[in-house]
Chain A
Amino acid sequence: MGLNAELLDVRHLNVSFRSSAGLVPVVRDVSFRIGRGETVAIVGESGSGKSVTSLALLGLTPPAPACVVSGSVTLRDRDGSALELLQLSDAAMNRVRGVSISMVFQEPMSSLNPVLTVGAQIAESVRFHQGLDGRAAQARAAELLDLVGIPDAARRLGSYPHQLSGGMRQRVMIAIALACEPLLLIADEPTTALDVTIQAQILELLRSLQDRTGMAMIFITHNLGVVAEIAHRVLVMYNGCIVEQANVVPLFRTPLMPYTKGLLRSVPRLDLAGLRTAALEAIPGQVPDPASPPPGCGFAPRCPQCHPGLCDASEPALEEVEARHLVRCFRWAELP
Chain B
Amino acid sequence: MSAPILELRDLYKSFPIHNSLFARDRHVVKAVDGVSLAVRQGEVLSLVGEPGSGKSTIGRLVLGIETPTSGTVWFDGVEISALPRRRMRPLRQRIQMVFQDPYASLNPRMTIEAIVGAPLDVHGLARSRAERGRRVAETLRLVGLVPPHAQRYPHEFSGGQRQRIGIARALITNPDLLIADEPVSALDVSVQAQVVNLLLELKTRLALTVLFIAHDLAVVGHISDRIAVMYMGRLVELAPTRRLFAYPAHPYTEALLSAVPIPDPTLERRRIVLAGDIPSPLDPPSGCTFRTRCPYALPTCAAQVPAFRELEAGHFKACIRDDLSLQPAPGLVADQTAPQ
Contacts and interface: CB of A to CB of B under 8 A. Distances in A.
Interface stretch (A59-67, A115-123, A259-267): A259-267
Interface in B248-264: 255-264
Interface stretch (A89-97, A136-144, A274-282): A274-282
B260 A225 contact: yes
Nearest to B242: A274
A76 B189 CA distance: 35
A268 B217 CA distance: 9
A197 B50 contact: yes
A46 B273 CA distance: 29
A293 B241 CA distance: 42
A193 to B, nearest CB: 10
B82 to A, nearest CB: 34
A284 B194 contact: yes
B221 A282 contact: no
B191 interface: yes
B181 to A, nearest CB: 15
B321 interface: no
B277 A196 contact: no
20 contacts: A45-B191, A165-B277, A195-B215, A196-B215, A197-B50, A197-B273, A199-B259, A201-B273, A201-B274, A224-B263, A226-B261, A229-B262, A264-B263, A266-B193, A268-B219, A270-B218, A271-B332, A274-B243, A283-B190, A284-B194
Interface of A: 45-46, 151, 165-168, 195-201, 203-204, 222-229, 231, 248-249, 252-253, 262-264, 266-275, 278-284, 286-287
A274 B191 contact: no
A268 B265 contact: no
A47 B331 CA distance: 32
Nearest to A279: B197
B262 A270 contact: yes
Most A CB contacts (10 A, CB to CB) among B51, B224, B240, B257 go to: B51
A286 B161 contact: yes
Contacts of A231: 265
B188 interface: yes
Given A195-B51, A197-B255, A222-B188, A275 B271 contact: no
B245 A274 contact: yes
A273 B222 contact: yes
B29 interface: no
Q: Which of A204, A252, A286 is packed against the most chain B CB atoms within 10 Å?
A: A286
B277 A270 contact: no
A253 B267 CA distance: 12
A-B complex: 9 closest residue pairs judged by Cβ atoms: A273-B221, A225-B261, A274-B241, A274-B242, A282-B193, A280-B193, A268-B218, A266-B193, A283-B190
Contact of B221 (A167, A266, A274): A274
Contacts of B245: 270, 273-274
Nearest to A228: B265
Contacts of B261: 196, 199-200, 203, 223-226, 228-229
- Residue of B243, B257, B265, B266 ringed by the most chain A CB atoms within 10 A: B265
B42 interface: no
**Most central of A151, A198, A266, A268 by chain B CB within 10 Å:** A268
B221 A46 contact: no
A56 B185 CA distance: 28
B277 A262 contact: no
A165 B276 CA distance: 11
Nearest to A168: B277
A294 to B, nearest CB: 16
B159 interface: yes
Most buried by A among B161, B191, B216, B271: B191
A253 B273 CA distance: 27
B263 A252 contact: yes
Given A270-B332, A273-B221, 12 more contacts: A45-B191, A196-B215, A196-B260, A200-B274, A203-B261, A229-B261, A267-B263, A270-B221, A274-B221, A275-B242, A281-B193, A282-B194
B200 A228 contact: no
Contacts of A248: 265
Contacts of A229: 261-262, 265
B273 A252 contact: no
Contact of A228 (B189, B258, B264): B264
B214 to A, nearest CB: 11
B252 to A, nearest CB: 9
A224 B189 contact: yes
Contact of B50 (A195, A272, A281): A195
Contact of A282 (B50, B159, B191, B266): B191
Contacts of B236: none
A286 B256 contact: no
A261 B245 CA distance: 26
Contacts of B159: 46
B286 interface: no
A204 B161 CA distance: 35
A45 B278 CA distance: 31
B262 A204 contact: no
B190 to A, nearest CB: 4
A249 B276 CA distance: 32
Interface string B209-231: 00000011111111010000000
B329 interface: yes
